[in-house]
Amino acid sequence: MGELNEFCGICAACTPGRNACPDLYQMMKDLQHRGQAGAGMATYDPDRKRILKTHKRTGTVDEVFGGEDQGGIQDILQEMKGSIGIGHTRYGTSGSLTSRHVQPFERVHGLRGKWFAFGFNGHIANRKDLESRIKDLGYHLMLDTDTEVMMHYFSHHISGTGGELKEVFRRMSLDLDGAYNMAFIDAMGDLVVARDPWGIRPLSSIVTENGSFAASETCALYRQGTEDIHHIEPGEMAILRDGGIEYHRFAERRKRSLCFFEFIYFASVTSNLDGRSVYETRKRCGEELARIETQDINDRDWVVIPVPNTARPIANSFAKALGHPRIYEEGLIAVGKGRTFIDEGDRSAKVRRKFMPIPSVLKGKKVIVIDDSIVRSTTMATIVRYHLKEVGGAKEVHVRIATPPIIAPCYYGIDMRTFDELVASRYEEMITSGIMDEEARSCIAQKINAESLIYLTHEGLLRALGMDRNNLCMACLDRRYPTPAGQELDRVNHEHFSKSLRELPDP
């Protein structure tokens, strides 16, 4: 995809009698795909002068914790020593990113019960309303981030409840609208992770002989064990204490709305989300794409390639389902660092730097290139025009996309914030259940320099996921937002977008 942004990963560890930092460090590395712009951890040690301590800055996990200097990494992990702690990996934002924006956020206080740190994964859809309310209570905001707003609400509710955390999280759930999986630690030695009442983002936990652990994805828990992993329910909080976990409901469960993009793009291919394999889901997406293929494909003239890395199982299963497994090839190699959708600035230039084509695979061939999605179209246009045709020498390029057309913004943590930036949004009336009419597909195919374009349908996506639409958030595909603030943002923004389209001059 290479065009999205604003995702994070959280983790927590409780390891009685030993330092939790090495486990947190490894979990953060295993969640690195969810954020490469910043990383940090906060730990608790009652024997330390600074009971609660945070280490964070911009960069990858390795860069933040000592780079290639293994001795430096060990020194930092020893300096941060504590038997409980939380970790966070962060993607970039649309503005500047400094160490102050990196999580966890820590609020220092002389009263231990009011001294806490936390990190979260998601986005608060009703942030403007929350900012207005918290300012009326006398709080001051210094940073342009919903994390700071949440920190002040935590502070307010801790003061109002005497620090009773189940009540604190209950009150937070009444304030917040959106996606918000949280990891929280305080100077009393309390450690909590919580999943928002809609379950928009995944969150899992495990208890082993080494202690208790929680993370955004199961891939970060596998080093502790693969059996008995618990998928935390929407509206459920987990208190990690003495190497065990207590589960409590802090909010009434709303309509379950797990983000479908977790399966298709964001989550590690090794992860299991709410009991479903990401890898197997992506394979089924390839099979569904094969069902609607229109080209007469053979082993001699054609080659099927993925856009690395998420599309590999999709493209592989696509070729197998067509009955031509031998035409699957690696025609593009990712050579740049990280994922292009976290970058700011000139996306096209960054896409050029990230990938290198293999001309011996592509030259003179009709190429089917498979990707997980098209958002703005910049990435795919660069890949088709520059990598596959200009450098690779492909004869034709046919694009196949493992999601339906993205027609609407995301208000829950993915950087698709306006209708204007989405290449398919202006064709909304020409799309039914994810099926885009031929005229619209031809327009986008021309825009991305491709000979043809096919998207997966809503029906095909749901079959691949093995889930009911009512248990998913697919709002960027059909504008059915699960939360009240999301619905209101859609109403206002779509009205503005529709007006701007009507004012465009006739072609």
Residue pointed to by tokens 């911009």: 58
Torsion (CA) 341, 342, 348, 353 in degrees, nearest 10: -110
Residue 79, amino acid: E
Q: E strands, 335-390, where?
A: 355-357, 366-371
List all residues 6 or more positions away from 60 whose beta carbon is below 8 Å from its beta carbon. Answer: 32, 36, 39, 338
Minimal CA–CA distance to 317: which of 280, 294, 283?
283
The DSSP code for 499 is H
List all residues 6 or more positions away from 277 whose beta carbon is below 8 Å from its beta carbon. Answer: none
**Half-sphere CA count of 53, side-chain side, radius 13 A:** 20
Torsion (CA) 105, 246, 221, 148 in degrees, nearest 10: -10
Residue pointed to by tokens 């993009």: 261
- Helix, coil or strand: residue 193: strand
CB 11 within 8 Å of CB 215: yes
- Helix, coil or strand: residue 399: strand
C-alpha distances (whole Å) from 368 to each of 190, 303, 330 are 52, 6, 12
Minimal CA–CA distance to 350: which of 370, 335, 331?
335
Cis peptide before 104 (omega within 30 of 0): yes
User: Is 8 a catalytic site residue?
Assistant: yes
Annotated catalytic residues are 8
